[in-house]
Structure 1
Amino acid sequence: MSSLFTLLAAASALALGVGATATKAQAADVKSVVLVHGGFVDGSGWQGVYDILTKDGYDVTIVQNPTTSLADDVAVTRRAIAAAPGQVVLVGHSYGGVVVSEAGTDPKVAAVVYIAAFAPDAGESVASLIANPAPGAPVPPILPPVDGFLFLDKAKFAASFAADVRPDIASFMANSQVPWGMAALEGKVTAPAWKAKPSWYLVATEDKMIPPEAQRAMANRAGATVSEAKGSHSIYVSKPQAVAAVIENAAKGAQTAAQ
């Protein structure tokens, strides 16, 4: 009789152990991705990346941040993080890197990914990061603000922002620009997520908006896992496979770190 109880106790302990292991694996499984767009555009440019990630089994949320102020954009992003199932890989393109740097300290965020993005330190903003461009660096064709909002010169949009995007799509992007608020440009990060979370960075080597050397410098400062791909500032549109690969590597890397 005592043998039976011993066997049952052992079986129960084994079941509890297996259950705990399964729970740990489930907790470490990072399958949610939140994508944050940058200035002058909306979230529709993420469609190619979205299609790849969802096909590979990820739950993907695309944030339609209003780009009116950093505080507003962070609030929208945090709501998306809260609604996503489980742990999240938080991804930002361009100015979206500022948003994810501020919002990425959320406990649900397992990793932060920068796609040709600003990766500011505490107290920095897009305005401060672009204040002193290196000699010879390309100057984005930003028009003077109107009522506190910025646009890119439509005639120069493709060359600066989307040189490797199909011409009809680049033209559509130029003519469907989202006003970028000066309050967003000047919004300062308080505690950058890359100081607390593992980060990944994809450098777009043909970028005419954020110089590749500036991207590399920010990525190295953040201690990010860095990869590079030939592409314009709109690499998330033109090279969705390269972008999705970095995001999936971040999900797997964050999962491994959590185990």
Structure 2
Amino acid sequence: MTPPLAVLVHGLWHGAWCWDDVRSALSARGVDSVAVDLPLTDLATDTAAVRAALDAAGRPAVLVGHSYGGAVVTAAGVHPLVRELVYLAAFQLDDGESVSRTRLGDLPDTRLGEAMVVSGDEVGLDAVLGPRLLYGDAPAEVTAAATARLRPVGRQVFRGVPEAVAWRTVPSTYVVCTADEVVHPERQRAMAGRATRSVEWACGHSPLATRPDAVAELVAERVAAVDAEPGQPGAAPSG
């Protein structure tokens, strides 16, 4: 029987390319993966892109979201093929929340707002502060390569509210990045309280670039756990 795969969902200003190192590490562990390229126009369109990827894969999946990608997997995770959610420094939103408005109490902010540059209906990043916040703990060459590929996003993505809240019915794992300068670690910890389980890593906002093996190891672990569940494809029979 075909085992589950990992479906990977990136954050704002990025593309499917940011998962390349993680996908290589997953492949080395025998785990198939798909990285979705989000339009980054609005949450509903991004959610539809992930649902289409799940339909095309046609296999049980662990759905992984980084940063804004957490809002997307929260909505898309009600897809019948999704078996588990993984949030990496991500927005594990509740009903009526958006990435710009959560009901988590009075929590500290980062300098992300200062780094955003609005031009018409698009939001980009300051060329100096943006990469510093996203990749502050990455080697200079990694930061430079990633920065060259960043793109503006639609203003609507910041106001999108998930049309479903998958973590209420689907198990979830949250990774808090304790040196994050984009999504404050205290905000992450508050959202992690909604997850089935959580762990903390001493890293900045982009473990996909700085700790791809650790990300792959965690995702592979969750894929294996799903695969071992009774009744799942590839699971050993119970009894």
Give TM-score, length-normalised by structure 1. Answer: 0.83
Residue type at the aligned position of 2:89: A
Q: Number of aligned pairs? A: 230
Q: Quick one: which of 81, 85, 110 aligns to 1:112?
A: 85
CA distance in 2, matches of 1:51, 1:176: 19
Q: Which residue of 2 aligns with 1:244?
A: 216
Query: Which digits, 9 at most, give the CA deviation of each residue in 1:26-77, with x for residues without a partner?
Result: 4xx7431110100011111111110011122222111000111111111111
Residue type at the aligned position of 2:143: A
The unaligned stretches of length 5 or more in structure 2 are 232-239
Residue 172 of structure 1: CA displacement? 3.0
The unaligned stretches of length 5 or more in structure 1 are 1-25
CA distance in 2, matches of 1:158, 1:201: 24
Larger C-alpha radius of gyration, 1 or 2?
1
Q: Which residue of 1 aligns with 2:128?
A: 155
Q: 1:60 to 1:203 in 2, by over 3 A?
A: same
Residue type at the aligned position of 2:5: S
Preserved contact between residue 204 and residue 228 of structure 1 (Cα < 8 Å):
yes
Q: Report the secondary structure of 1:90's partner residue.
A: strand
Give TM-score, length-normalised by structure 2. Answer: 0.89
Pair 1:50 & 2:23 matched: yes
TM alignment of 1:108-257, pairs within 5 A: 108-129=81-102, 134-135=107-108, 137-140=109-112, 141-221=114-194, 223-257=195-229
Q: 1:139 to 1:129 in 2, by over 3 A?
A: farther
Residue 170 of structure 1: CA displacement? 1.0
CA distance in 1, matches of 2:152, 2:217: 30
Residue 85 of structure 1: CA displacement? 4.1
Judge which range, 246-255 or 100-109, deviates more: 246-255
- Identical aligned residues as a percent: 33
Query: Which digits, 9 at most, give the CA deviation of each residue in 1:123-155, with x for residues without a partner?
Result: 1110113998634x4221433421211112111
Q: 1:188 to 1:54 in 2, by over 3 A?
A: same
Preserved contact between residue 85 and residue 172 of structure 2 (Cα < 8 Å):
yes
CA RMSD of aligned residues (A): 1.9
Query: Which digits, 9 at most, give the CA deviation of each residue in 1:158-215, with x for residues without a partner?
Result: 3211012221221232233221111111110122111110111111111000011111
Q: Report the secondary structure of 1:122's partner residue.
A: coil
Q: Quick one: which of 65, 71, 75 aligns to 1:98?
A: 71
Pair 1:41 & 2:18 matched: no
Residue type at the aligned position of 2:36: V
Q: Quick one: which of 72, 91, 113 aligns to 2:45?
A: 72
Q: 1:243 to 1:133 in 2, by over 3 A?
A: farther
CA distance in 2, matches of 1:207, 1:234: 8
